[in-house]
Amino acid sequence: MALLTLQEAKKQLNLTTDTDDDELLTYVDAVTAPIEEYIGPVEPREVAEQHDAESGRRALVLRTSPVLSLTSVEPLLTGGVSYPVDGLVLDTGTGEVRRRNSGVFRGLLLFTVQAGRTEVTPTINLAARMLVQHLWRTQRPGRSGGLAGGGEDYSVGQPIPGFGYAVPNRVLELLAPYRLPPGVA
């Protein structure tokens, strides 16, 4: 599952030849990072996180979300306790992990999860296509023209904290329903 394909990007840009495919593929690949910075992993992948539960914790919240599944919870120190995943409950939306028996986690632990999404929604895909279009236009000024009255359809206006001028407001507005909660990245 890809966030955006080369063919989708070409369609967004109204490109019908393969002349720019190599360069455009760089743009297609590049938009994943800023979008995932804002909404978390899109393309499924394995992620490992360390969590300190030395003092005992009933629940731990993963820093990566959304989470598809929990693969393992292993101790990082010799003699530590391993927690079989069938004895754990994962809230895939929030990333909260608890023990089924209401016990506590102890020790320095390594959580391995499959993070990402089961599908790329049409809204996320559109945001990716629009971001490619915005970045593509910065390399080709004057080819596509602006709006009547001289306005630029992809103007960012003020820099957006954490994104600068690279991501237009309209892309962030499309991604807003999927935005990570504060403190999650």
pLDDT digits (tens, 9 = 90+) for 156-177: 555 555 666 678 889 999 999 9
List of residues 6+ apart from 24 with CB closer than 8 A: 6, 9, 10, 13, 15, 132, 136
pTM: 0.77
Residues 164, 141 share a domain: yes
Edge-to-edge strand order for the sheet containing 105-115? Answer: 45-57, 105-115, 67-75
Q: Which of 67, 95, 115 is the last residue of a domain?
A: 115
Q: How many domains, in total, are found in the chain? A: 2
Q: Average per-residue pLDDT in the chain?
A: 86
Helix boundaries (H) for the chain: 6-12, 21-30, 32-39, 122-139, 169-175
Give yes or no for residue 150 having a pLDDT over 60.
no
185: in domain: no
Is residue 1 included in any domain, yes or no?
Answer: no
pLDDT of residue 155: 53
Q: What is the pLDDT of residues 16-59, one digit of tens each?
A: 999 999 999 999 999 999 999 999 999 999 999 999 998 899 99
Parent domain of 148: 6-41+118-178
What average pLDDT does range 83-99 have in this prediction? 93
pLDDT digits (tens, 9 = 90+) for 48-63: 999 999 889 999 999 9
